[in-house]
């Protein structure tokens, strides 16, 4: 009589001795638990951040040269670098390209660009040193706070922070561009200083709340 007891096969219908089929998780190459792999450090968002850092010395060099053509090139370098500042974070969030490297490099690149522009303009005697000092101290403080709470979470940019960034970009651009924009550039820089201080205080408060919330 034929053996119909099922002893010649596994419980799943696989012949005895044959290897069991690989699980879906193993065959897909996904990490255990099905969680997606972290994004590579080599991505377009980080490339834009690095481009911004590379453009900083280029910008400073042509700004110090002082000629009309040099000023125009310096403005172009600053404009491209500022555009990368607006694009890299947006791309990282939309495409899931947020990396630990980006979290650290992005604010450093931002502060390097703004700080270099302000210090150079003050060195050339075109911008009061106290304005440069106020903005740089605020930016360094905010960056330090960002690293202080980085293990607890990322503090999203506020509407005021975005307005601050745009005011600083416009004000610095008006100082860099060849031409006479004295009143307009001073108005924009004054507004940038005020918003910079207000948003700095808001960032300190949010950082403290975040730190306390996880303790």
Could you tell me which residue, 66 or 123, shows the higher pLDDT? 123
Bridge partner list, 9: 15
Q: How does DSSP assign the chain, residue by residue?
A: ----SSTTB-TTSPBTTSPPPPPHHHHHTPPGGGPPPPPPSSSHHHHHHHHHHHHHHHHHHHHHH-SHHHHHHHHHHHHHHHHHHHHHHHHHHHTT---HHHHHHHHHHHHHHHHHHHHHHHHTTSS-HHHHHHHHHHHHHHHHHHHHTTTT---PPPHHHHHHHHHHHHHHHHHHSSS--HHHHHHHHHHHHHHHHHHHHHHHHHHHHHHHHT-
pLDDT at residue 13, as a whole number = 47
**Domain residue spans of the chain:** 44-213
Answer yes or no: are the C-beta atoms of 207 and 145 closer than 8 Å.
yes
* Alpha-carbon distances, residue 62 vs 30, 66, 144 (angstroms): 49, 7, 30
> Could you read off the pLDDT of 118-176 as tens digits, one per residue?
999 999 999 999 999 999 999 889 888 887 877 777 676 678 888 999 999 999 999 99
Question: Residue 107 above 60 pLDDT?
Answer: yes
Which numeric CATH code is attached to 44-213?
1.20.120.1760
pTM: predicted TM-score of the whole model, two decimal places: 0.77
Residues composing the chain: 215
Helices 159-176 and 182-213 cross at an angle (nearest 10°) of 150
Rounded Cα–Cα distance for residues 196 and 63 (Å): 24
Question: Residue 43 above 60 pLDDT?
Answer: yes
Question: Residue 9 above 70 pLDDT?
Answer: no
Answer yes or no: are the C-beta atoms of 161 and 201 closer than 8 Å.
no
Q: How many CB atoms lie within 10 A of CB 193?
A: 19
> Could you read off the pLDDT of 171-202 as tens digits, one per residue?
999 999 988 888 999 999 999 999 999 999 99
């Amino acid at each position: 009589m034929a053996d119909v007891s099922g002893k010649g096969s596994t419980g799943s219908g696989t012949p005895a001795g044959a290897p069991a089929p690989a699980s879906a998780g193993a065959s897909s190459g996904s990490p255990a638990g099905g969680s997606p792999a972290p994004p590579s450090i080599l991505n377009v968002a980080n490339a834009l951040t690095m481009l911004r850092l590379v453009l900083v010395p280029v910008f400073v060099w042509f700004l110090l040269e002082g000629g009309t053509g040099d000023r125009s090139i310096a403005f172009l370098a600053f404009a491209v670098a500022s555009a990368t500042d607006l694009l890299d974070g947006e791309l990282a969030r939309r495409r899931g390209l947020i990396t630990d490297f980006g979290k650290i490099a992005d604010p450093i690149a931002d502060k390097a660009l703004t700080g270099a522009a302000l210090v150079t303009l003050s060195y050339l005697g075109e911008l009061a040193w106290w304005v440069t000092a106020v903005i740089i101290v605020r930016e360094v403080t905010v960056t330090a706070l960002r690293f202080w709470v980085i293990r607890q979470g990322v503090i999203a940019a506020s509407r005021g922070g975005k307005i601050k960034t745009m005011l600083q970009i416009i004000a610095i651009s008006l100082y860099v561009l060849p031409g006479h924009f004295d009143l307009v550039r001073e108005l924009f820089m004054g507004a940038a200083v005020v918003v910079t201080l207000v948003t700095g205080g808001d960032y300190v408060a949010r950082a403290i709340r975040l730190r306390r919330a996880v303790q």
